[in-house]
Structure 1
Amino acid sequence: MLIQVIGAFFSVVAFSFLLHVPRKYIIWAGFTGAVGWWLYLVLMDLQFSMAVATFLSGCLISLCGQFFARILKTPVTIFVIPGILPLVPGAGMFRIARSVIRSDGMTSHHVTQTLIVAGMIALSLMVVDSVFRLFFKNKGDCHVDRQ
């Protein structure tokens, strides 16, 4: 598991260079992706469904991105976009293409699984962002709005 987490860290760091993330934030983006992948692996070992593991891992990635953005005073996307790389269902897309070429009858299953994972990633990012917008109304303002 440790090798996979280290691999996730370095893959996010490399992807950050492709996305032109400023150099001083690349390590933080790598950390964000590594902890998200670590949580995914732990949840899968605990027999959680792939959808739940992806959702909770995406929430952790988004949460780390939100905290780093506030601490380092930079946009959230600098950490979240590279950080979700390990969760992106690339293998699912490959299985879809292979299944279509082979006509093995599993295409709909692979499409469904891939869409569920992609949907859970999007949902997790949206939920955490919405919660932060609710509690931290203004940029840089970390006080709870008590009206």
Structure 2
Amino acid sequence: MAGVCKIEITETVPELKKLLNHQKTASGFQKIQALYLLKIGQVATVTELAVTLGVNRITVQRWLRQYRKDGLPGLLQVKQNGGRKPAIPAEARDQLEKRLNDPDNGFQSYGEIQTWLQEEYNINASYKAVYATVRYQLKSKLIKNNKK
């Protein structure tokens, strides 16, 4: 019969049930549920499985292809998005942290940090980016000017 899914699921029904209960993401749950429904024979075709799960047929085919290729770990692997690159790269951030932790050689203002980044690393970081990096990522503070 055309459309019948031909896949060998190596996990047992109890293993799949246990995995279903331990999924932390909705997509992980759906992927295990797809394997479970195929294993118990509740659905026979990819289209039927897609309708049951409420996803596109192509999505189910991609999941099954991934399972055939890499097994369960490959199927459940969560891809990390690249996201935006930080305004202050790791090398500069490390040096900034060292300077901030040195009471004799620290900074007195965020503007001073901006100037230092420009001179040392040719980084033109905004005040907001410098402030957020120092306060929230490095969890540091500027040195106080005690000269009166």
Q: Answer yes or no: same fold by TM over 0.5.
A: no
TM-score by length of 1: 0.23
Q: Which has the higher contact order (CA 8 A, sep 6+)?
A: 1
Q: TM-score, normalised by structure 2?
A: 0.23
Compare CA radii of gyration and give the structure with the larger one.
2
